[in-house]
Structure 1
Amino acid sequence: MSGLAEAIITFFQNMGLLNLTIGNIIMIIVGLVLVYLAIQKGYEPLLLLPIGISAVLVNLPLTGIVEPPHGLFYLIKTNLIDTEVVPLLIFFGLGAMTDFGPMIADPKTALLGAAAQIGVFIAMLTAILLGFTPQEAGSIGIIGGADGPTTIYLTVKLAPHLLSATAVAAYSYMSLVPLIQPPVIKALTTKEERRIRMEQLRPVSKREKILFPIASMTIIGLLVPSAAPLVGMLMIGNLFRESGVVERLAKAAREELMNIVTIFLGLGVGSTMQAQYFLTTKTLLILGLGVIAFASATAGGVLLGKVMMKASGGKINPMIGAAGVSAVPMSARVVQKLASEEDPGNFILMHAMGPNVAGVIGTAVAAGVLLSVLG
């Protein structure tokens, strides 16, 4: 009888339900909210759905799924996220999906992508003032670049203990770009400025598109070596796309490979959202700083856009500067939507795509600079 009693006691001790903490319950609710936003609202579903549902799973007690050495999520995070394999492969696939033509056609729009990076440094300095270490502040600041893989890449190197908070902030705010950017843009521009029409971009030759990734990778690699892995993978993927001779590989990079690594990225990030690591004061501060980063990045791009508008005699719509964050193509679509609201016949999407793709490069370079200084 005592043996049966011990077995019953052991059974109940091993029940996850009896080991559930308040923190676990809160994080399960957070995970379900992310799942709701992904499914019901369509907010960045390719990532918020796997992140949210895996956050639910890792907060179920005693599953062992995140425990070393054989827990599945432990293996994914350790071998694919911590080693930076997935973020770099994401950049490879992103390169195969990206058309740098609009930026090549109007190179000055690259300045707008650079200007938007001011959000990175404003958020970083604010984080330092709030008591974060320089390394933690760098990982938080890069959220302003609106680039999830870059945020993960830099955080793994500088402040891996903040990975869950920075990654969730980056991808959550990326999905909220249509809500965050319009108020900032409208506050900094007049109706007349938003109605400015721009001349059609010139055609870009195949030779230019082939030379661009080779030149960019080489120049940036020589000037900012620590940015070379990110920029290099981006440009190799883009060369696959533009060369026209490896279409099968380019297609695999932007479709099959991108889909696979996106799954692992979402599961890996979600696995870090355990209650004991996520429910901290720092997490709340990071989420708040993420808003500052996005808003200031948008403002930086728009303000330089206004300067360029004045210098061009009113030929540049300053709103395209807001697309300098690297949320491709969401930011460019936001700009086009605002332009259409003021003038239904105003089509500036391709002009906005120039700063938008420049922002991808700019954020990678900013990450490289932070890594070289703080790493």
Structure 2
Amino acid sequence: MPTIIDVAKKAGVSIKTVSRVMNNQTNVKETTRERVHLAMEQLDYSPSDAARQLRTGKSLAIGMLYSDPSSGYQSRLNHAMMQACSDAGRYLVVGLFEEHGGSWQQQLEAFIERTKVNNIILVPPMCDSSILQEYLFNRGIQFVLMSPSHTAPKVSSVSMDDQMAAREMTQHLLDQGHKRIGHIAGDPAHIASFLRRRGYEEAIVSMGLPRPGNDLVIDGQFDFRRALAAAETMLSGDNPPTAIFAASDDMAAAAYMAAGRLGLAVPDDVSVVGFDNISIAGTIWPSLTTVAQPFDDMAAECIRILRNASSDDSSRPAPELVVVPHKIIVRSSCTAPAN
């Protein structure tokens, strides 16, 4: 990505002169101004963000806070956010954050002071913290919520329709002939878990089948070991499911392991599907059928909203509520039940 230094070199002027041109100052010769504009055009350099940083001292960095850096979900999200920031001429700074600790305010203050960010993305579960949102609002920090459990007044958010995606995935299994479909649910405290379970149950009930009981729905807490135990419990029962829908790809991988421990083959003995489409979905065997979270599109929308908020003449523009479409990725992990 070209910088103001590159523009100055190409135009044969000083960085200060480029800054004057970007700020529309009058003490620049017209021929010099034209050279600077031509250099910007040839380098495909967008001066708006850089000029604003020079003028206001605000950082081009965008901050993102999260509590679990080890999950496949967070890894995929990090990549999407870094790419979106790069495409927008920004860069991403991330920080570990634990809201339930007694020093959360000190953590946040230190992060803001160290990085100089004035734009922050809140991802689950921080996106649901009203205390955190109020603090950022009062500090004058622009922020956007990604996948919040509910919309907040005066705050923009970007999400996908978890309930519809889960319903479509469950319907895919029903269309293949499965009637006993287990569900490894996520953390009950996360709205995404609730919505995915609701979508799963809606699809089953809509086919005239009974609502799944506790033998078919077990919390996996978005944790591999808990999901492994849940899958083993389901598959070793007297009337095991012919398919399992896990609320995340990491938990679907745990279901693969549980099946292997019990001598069952995926998908011949039990079909398994997941949710997220992180890297493991395409690398495990058989490759995993899953819901593709639109990470790249959601990340791009978050960055767009923050850039627009930074360039708006008012202190806080009208909030946007963006819902990004998902996809079902059909691979090799599910087929019609054997019996």
TM-score, normalisation: structure 2: 0.27
TM-score, normalisation: structure 1: 0.25
**Structure showing the higher strand proportion among its residues:** 2
More relative contact order in 1 or in 2 (CA 8 Å, sep 6+)? 1
